[in-house]
């Protein structure tokens, strides 16, 4: 490691601290390969089992793209909720956590490290989905739409990162893992990430429109296929972002008050 | 001379429990201060205030003139994690790098590992270290940033004698460069090895604040057990040199700095007594004796 030559009383900059925490959080996550593989694999496997065998979907370029966008959205949700929800809860239980708080860095750089790590995992989870889509389905769309879809990943990730933080700061590691699963799968199903919402009964479709998962899915499908989507998707997603941000701040403050007041 | 650590009339409660009760303590550059006291006396709470983990309910805490909750103040601070809490998947060298990355002018990885005899373990994951190796790494982390103020909370608890002496030597080497060290322990031996000034804390208050030798003399208290008639018990407390009297069944237990002198005056007082016995007092009992008297007075 290179040593900075700054005067002894100076502090490391915010950015270098954020980069430090990002590197070590990525490193720690990668050291448990099964967690990474599990996270990356599930959306790809779902694509392989539920989409590839269905000729009606897999052989129609735009329909296939829609299915891929749905599972890509699921990959984002799952990476955010697991890396932040379960990850933060686990970290809080380690005796290393209070120690790190005595180092000369505020909460910001660590939080930034977590968020960047979450987004890196959201993006890397797209790789197997895209590979399978390219090789085994007829999915095809313009390169700009693919790029648009990838650019959408960090945007869609924000509300789910916040939800993950809220869960991670509010609960013990065991409870957080259970809650993440209990939130992730129903939300994904009702949001049309496994089954396209066109197949939903009317009442479920109505409920679905109010969910963050559905809003994220509609945006993803719209951007990647170019099909006209729901005008409500963006406002709904922003609304949930605000709600989850409030929950995350609340959970963080409560945890702070309990352990470090 | 400016104080590096300044604790000024600090009170800290946990619910109804008062952990620190109007504590004041000033530590200057280069001082080696031992915080001695039984478990639950408030030592760890005091350290958590100085390291900025908690804030006081009343009073102020300053680290190098700043609020320790401000990260800029903590550039001058080094603390130890609990050895059980090291991130198990990171390697020894990586944990050192993670900590070093927070400071403007840290020791090199090689220097840190060398000082604590960890060079051969640099590539080992911390999860695979023995308890003693983890403890060494934990203490090493407190020095990585070349801090002016080092806080050590029970640094060698649970180590064997050999490992303990190696750690003490490494800490003394660092102290020799002029660092200020605050070390808590409930082992007198550890305080003797690392501190020049000793602050005794009990029930959240500073009971004594003196140089090492004076506190050692206090801790050398003895117990005199003796049976006297119920009516004569108050007379025991009045004997010169008695710090504290407690009833233990039929006998009374006298705590004394100089047991011989107490026995002599007991005989001279002509009180009828039987079953006399003199025993060494534990450190814990010496603290109790201090708690029972006015702070700062006994000696």
Which range among A43-57, B73-87, B109-123 has the greatest average pLDDT? Answer: B109-123
pLDDT number for residue B203: 82
B29 vs A54: which has the higher pLDDT: B29
Share of chain B above pLDDT 90, in %: 38
Per-run averaged pLDDT (10 residues), chain A, 261 residues: 43 91 91 78 86 83 88 92 87 87 88 89 90 86 88 93 93 92 93 88 92 94 86 92 93 79 65
Token pair 């002016």 in the structure block, residue: B148
Contacts of A10 in chain B (CB under 8 A): 75, 104
pLDDT number for residue B210: 87
Contact criterion met (CB below 8 Å) for B277 and B224 = yes
Contacts of A94 in chain B (CB under 8 A): 85, 87
Separation between Cα atoms, residue A260 and residue B68, nearest integer Å: 13
Residue A137 in any domain: the answer is: yes
Those residues with Cβ within 8 angstroms of residue B131's Cβ, 6 or more apart along the chain or in another chain: B83, B158
Separation between Cα atoms, residue B72 and residue A12, nearest integer Å: 9
> How many domains does the structure of chain A reveal?
1
Per-residue model confidence as pLDDT tens digits over B34-45: 998 877 788 889
Closest-CA distance of chain B to residue A93, Å: 9
Per-residue model confidence as pLDDT tens digits over A150-194: 999 999 999 999 999 999 999 998 999 999 999 999 999 999 998
CB contact under 8 A, A11 and B75: yes
* Contact with chain B for residue A92, Cβ under 8 A: no
Residue A242 burial (CB < 10 Å; 0-12/13-18/19+)?
exposed
Q: Could you tell me the CA-to-CA distances from A107 to A52, A93, A114, A210, A253 in Å, in that order? A: 44, 17, 11, 33, 12
Ranges of H-type helices in chain B: 43-50, 92-100, 109-115, 131-141, 161-175, 188-194, 212-219, 233-237, 259-268, 283-292
Sign of the Cα pseudo-torsion (A122, A128, A133, A137, in order) = negative
Question: What number is the average pLDDT over the span B58-78?
Answer: 93
Residue A8 in any domain: the answer is: no
- Chain B residues bordering chain A (beta-carbon distance below 8 Å): 51-55, 71-77, 79-82, 84-87, 89-90, 94, 97-106, 108-109, 125, 141, 145-146
* Contact with chain B for residue A108, Cβ under 8 A: no
Structure tokens at B1: 């001379």
* Contact with chain B for residue A32, Cβ under 8 A: yes
Separation between Cα atoms, residue B293 and residue B207, nearest integer Å: 9
Question: What number is the average pLDDT over the span B116-122?
Answer: 92
CB contact under 8 A, A95 and B85: yes
B84, B98, B149, best to mutate vs chain A, most A CBs in 10 Å: B98
Structure tokens at A183: 């939130």
Separation between Cα atoms, residue B21 and residue B78, nearest integer Å: 26
pLDDT number for residue B295: 40
Lowest mean pLDDT among A166-180, B7-21, B184-198: B184-198
Average of per-residue pLDDT values in chain B: 86
Q: Chain B residue with minimal CA distance to A93?
A: B85
Q: What angle do CA A248, A251, A257 make, to 5 degrees?
A: 140
* Contact with chain B for residue A24, Cβ under 8 A: yes
Assign 3-class secondary structure to A135-204.
Answer: HHCCCCCCHHHHHHHHHHHHHHHHHHHHHHHHHHHHCCHHHHHHHHHHHHHHHHHHCCCCCCHHHCCHHH
pLDDT number for residue B296: 38
Closest-CA distance of chain B to residue A149, Å: 34
- SS percent in chain A: helix, strand, coil, step 5: 80, 0, 20
Contacts of A258 in chain B (CB under 8 A): none
Is the pLDDT confidence value at B254 over 90? Answer: no
Separation between Cα atoms, residue B278 and residue B260, nearest integer Å: 9
Out of A1, A94, A101, closest to residue B85 by CB: A94
Contacts of A97 in chain B (CB under 8 A): 85
Out of A1, A7, A9, closest to residue B109 by CB: A1
Out of B55, B86, B98, closest to residue A20 by CB: B98
Residue A9 in any domain: the answer is: no
Domain extent, residue A115, equals 15-255
Residue A34 in any domain: the answer is: yes
Closest-CA distance of chain B to residue A13, Å: 9
Contact criterion met (CB below 8 Å) for A150 and A126 = yes
Strands B197-202 and B205-211: antiparallel
Q: Chain A residue with minimal CA distance to B64?
A: A9
Closest-CA distance of chain B to residue A27, Å: 8
Is the pLDDT confidence value at B29 over 70? Answer: yes
Residue A30 in any domain: the answer is: yes
pLDDT number for residue B281: 67
Contact criterion met (CB below 8 Å) for B38 and B186 = yes
pLDDT number for residue B185: 82
Residue A248 in any domain: the answer is: yes
Per-residue model confidence as pLDDT tens digits over B257-278: 788 888 998 898 888 998 988 8
| Domains delineated in chain B | 5-211 (3.40.50.300), 222-280 (3.30.70.100)
Residue A158: closest CA among A248, A38, A41:
A248
CB contact under 8 A, A16 and B108: no
ipTM for the complex shown:
0.80
């Amino acid at each position: 490691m290179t040593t900075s030559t700054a005067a002894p009383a100076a502090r490391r900059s915010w950015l270098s601290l954020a980069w430090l925490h990002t590197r070590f959080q990525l490193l720690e996550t990668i050291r448990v390969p099964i967690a990474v593989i599990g996270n990356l694999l599930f959306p790809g496997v779902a694509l392989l089992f539920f989409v590839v065998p269905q000729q009606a979907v897999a052989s129609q370029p735009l329909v296939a793209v829609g299915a891929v966008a749905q599972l890509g959205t699921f990959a984002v949700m799952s990476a955010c909720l697991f890396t932040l929800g379960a990850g933060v809860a686990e970290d809080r239980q380690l005796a290393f956590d209070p120690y790190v708080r005595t180092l000369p860095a505020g909460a910001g750089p660590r939080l930034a490290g977590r968020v960047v790590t979450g987004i890196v995992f959201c993006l890397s989870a797209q790789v197997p989905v895209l590979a399978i889509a390219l090789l085994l389905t007829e999915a095809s769309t313009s390169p700009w739409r693919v790029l648009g879809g990838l650019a959408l990943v960090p945007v869609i990730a924000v509300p789910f990162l916040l939800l993950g933080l809220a869960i991670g700061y509010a609960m013990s590691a065991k409870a957080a893992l259970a809650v993440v699963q209990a939130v992730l799968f129903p939300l994904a199903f009702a949001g049309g990430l496994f089954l396209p919402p066109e197949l939903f009964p009317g009442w479920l479709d109505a409920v679905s429109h109010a969910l963050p998962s559905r809003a994220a899915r509609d945006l993803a499908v719209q951007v990647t296929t170019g099909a006209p989507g729901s005008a409500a998707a963006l406002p709904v997603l922003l609304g949930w972002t605000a709600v989850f941000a409030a929950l995350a701040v609340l959970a963080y403050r409560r945890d702070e008050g309990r352990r470090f007041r | 001379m400016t104080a590096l650590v300044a604790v000024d009339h600090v009170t800290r409660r946990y619910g109804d429990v008062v952990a620190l009760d109007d504590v004041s303590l000033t530590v200057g550059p280069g001082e080696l201060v031992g915080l001695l006291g039984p478990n639950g006396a408030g030592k760890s709470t005091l350290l958590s205030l100085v390291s900025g983990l908690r804030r006081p309910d009343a009073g102020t805490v300053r680290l190098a003139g700043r609020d320790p909750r401000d990260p800029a103040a903590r550039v001058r601070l080094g603390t130890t994690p609990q050895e059980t809490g090291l991130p198990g998947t990171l390697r020894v060298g990586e944990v050192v790098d993670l900590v070093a990355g927070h400071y403007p002018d840290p020791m090199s990885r090689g220097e840190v590992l060398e000082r604590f005899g960890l060079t051969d373990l640099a590539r080992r994951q911390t999860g695979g270290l023995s308890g003693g190796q983890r403890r060494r790494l934990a203490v090493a982390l407190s020095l990585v940033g070349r801090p002016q103020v080092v806080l050590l909370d029970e640094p060698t608890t649970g180590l064997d004698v050999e490992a303990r002496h190696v750690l003490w030597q490494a800490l003394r080497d660092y102290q020799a460069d002029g660092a200020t060290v605050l070390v808590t322990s409930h082992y007198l031996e550890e305080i003797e090895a690392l501190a020049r000034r000793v602050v005794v804390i009990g029930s959240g208050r500073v009971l004594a604040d003196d140089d090492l030798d004076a506190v050692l003399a206090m801790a050398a208290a003895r117990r005199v057990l003796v049976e006297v008639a119920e009516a004569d018990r108050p007379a025991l407390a009045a004997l010169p040199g008695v710090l504290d009297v407690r009833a233990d069944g039929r006998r009374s237990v006298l705590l004394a700095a100089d047991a011989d002198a107490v026995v002599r005056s007991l005989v001279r007082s002509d009180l009828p007594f039987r079953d006399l016995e003199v025993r060494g007092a534990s450190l814990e009992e010496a603290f109790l004796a201090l708690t029972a008297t006015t702070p700062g007075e006994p000696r």
